[in-house]
Chains A and B, each alone.
Chain A
Amino acid sequence: MNSKSSPSGPCPHRAKFTRRFLRALARINKDRPTSSSHHEIRKRSRKIKIAADASMAYAVGSGRAWSRVMLWKLRNRTRYRAWIWSRVIASTRKRIDKGSKQGGELSRTDQLRQLVPGGEAMDFCNLLDEAAHYIKCLTTQVQVMRNIADFYFT
């Protein structure tokens, strides 16, 4: 279990993530179109973000629920998009219906569920566990990306 490692220590998936992410960046760079319109830039930055997420999830592997769900989502991205929108619309409608009846912790838990990939189907205990691991991985992701960006920038 990855949760056994100390929270302050280096993430074990860091090297794997970096390697994958650099490769993905190279791939994105390779098939770069010549046009640099605003739309293209947005599309590319989105691609990079997806690449970062995917490489993190790949680095973690299928041992974690959130990485599994993230990989699944990324794999069926095109099919998943319509489903996401239907879910978003339904959830906003639900929230409007519920109104201020359920304030406080339940809505907080639901927020956390939406933030952690695959959190909708977890109970609270597992959700906290996955959230801890997800935070750990996100921090490594941010650190590595910042390192790469800093290097490029200078």
Chain B
Amino acid sequence: MDPPSLINGGSFPSANASSYGLTEIWPFPLNGGGVGGVLGLRSNHLAGYVETRGTGIVNRDVLVDESTITEQSESRGGARRKRRDATSEDESSKLVSTSSDNDMQKNSGGKRQKVSGSGDENGDSKADVESNSGTDNKQAEQSMQPSERPKQDYIHVRARRGQATDSHSLAERARREKISERMKILQDLVPGCNKVIGKALVLDEIINYIQSLQRQVEFLSMKLEAVNSKISPSIKDFGAQTFDTTAMAFNSQAAREYVQGSPQEWLHMQVGSGFERAT
């Protein structure tokens, strides 16, 4: 049992977490709050920074404010020692809340204390600082991960082994799958397109097919124009025949019902208004 290492293990996460908590909890744009947040964050950086540099700057700050800090650090140390057995994340978060409360009550003291804590630990042992900086990184990663998860849920694509997992490539993969699916639908629609391999050739087939269909429509409209003029005098025996042929042309029952009405309607229109006047 060496007390300094234990204290370090307890105190470091709380210091870091309080620095995170300060910026979140402190909603006021007060000078003290802003400085506190900045100082807290800086203490994180200092933990890594001091590894190389030593404890020069930080310890000076500690010495200046030592008189105000000592009692607080003592009380906190006691609290930490009570809880040191259970060092789960929940416990550390509780510590965070208490420490941040203290900070809110006493602005300058709280700020200084964080710096002093990191300074003292750096003075104690470098190995501890390294391990703690490792945990710092882990904590940073943990805090980053929840923000990324919703994005991944958003796209509903799962990456297979060896595929890229960032959101852009996931979206791109989803888009490509959609395109290939639609290409397949189009291939089913266009006759003779199933044998063709390659996106460009399939597109060629599709374009040709649409062009041919549009040309057919044009041709048929010309044909209908010619035919329409020919058929119009013998409109009398038209209704029944139209009914038969169009009914044969339609497969579904609903369509047949629909068309049963239409030729008669047409007959009425033609016979009633247009052609009796003409004849």
Interface residue from B175, B209, B258, B263 paired with A15 (Cβ < 8 Å): B258
Nearest-CB distance from B237 to chain A (Å)? 12
Interface residue from A25, A111, A149 paired with B207 (Cβ < 8 Å): A111
Given A25-B228, A36-B229, does the pair A145, B190 have CB atoms closer than 8 Å? Answer: no
Q: How far is the CA of A119 from the CA of B217 in the complex (A)?
A: 20
Nearest-CB distance from A48 to chain B (Å)? 4
Is the beta-carbon distance between B179 and A125 smaller than 8 angstroms?
yes
Q: How far is the CA of A10 from the CA of B249 in the complex (A)?
A: 11
Nearest-CB distance from B89 to chain A (Å)? 44
Is the beta-carbon distance between A142 and B266 smaller than 8 angstroms?
no
Is the beta-carbon distance between B273 and A142 smaller than 8 angstroms?
no
Interface residue from A30, A104, A135, A143 paired with B189 (Cβ < 8 Å): A135
Q: Which of A16-24, A68-76, A80-88, A93-101 contacts B (4 or more CB under 8 A)?
A: A16-24
Is the beta-carbon distance between A125 and B182 smaller than 8 angstroms?
yes
Is the beta-carbon distance between B269 and A26 smaller than 8 angstroms?
yes
Residues of B within 8 A of A (CB-CB), count: 59
Q: How far is the CA of A21 from the CA of B212 in the complex (A)?
A: 21
4 nearest A-B pairs in the assembled complex, by CB-CB distance: A15-B258, A49-B221, A30-B274, A128-B182
Interface of B with A (CB < 8 Å)?
Answer: 175, 178-179, 182-183, 185-186, 188-190, 199-200, 203-204, 206-207, 209-211, 213-214, 216-218, 220-232, 241-242, 245-246, 249-252, 254-255, 258-259, 261-263, 265-266, 269-270, 273-275
Given contacts A7-B185, A105-B199, A131-B186, 14 further A-B contacts (CB under 8 A): A26-B266, A29-B229, A48-B221, A48-B222, A108-B204, A116-B210, A125-B175, A135-B213, A142-B213, A147-B249, A149-B223, A150-B245, A152-B227, A152-B228
15 contacts between A and B (CB under 8 A): A10-B252, A15-B250, A16-B258, A29-B228, A30-B274, A49-B221, A112-B210, A116-B210, A125-B178, A131-B206, A142-B216, A147-B245, A147-B246, A152-B224, A152-B230
Interface of A with B (CB < 8 Å)?
Answer: 3, 7-8, 10, 14-16, 18-19, 22-23, 25-26, 28-32, 36, 41, 44-46, 48-49, 52-53, 104-105, 108-109, 111-112, 115-116, 124-125, 128-129, 131-132, 134-136, 138-139, 141-153
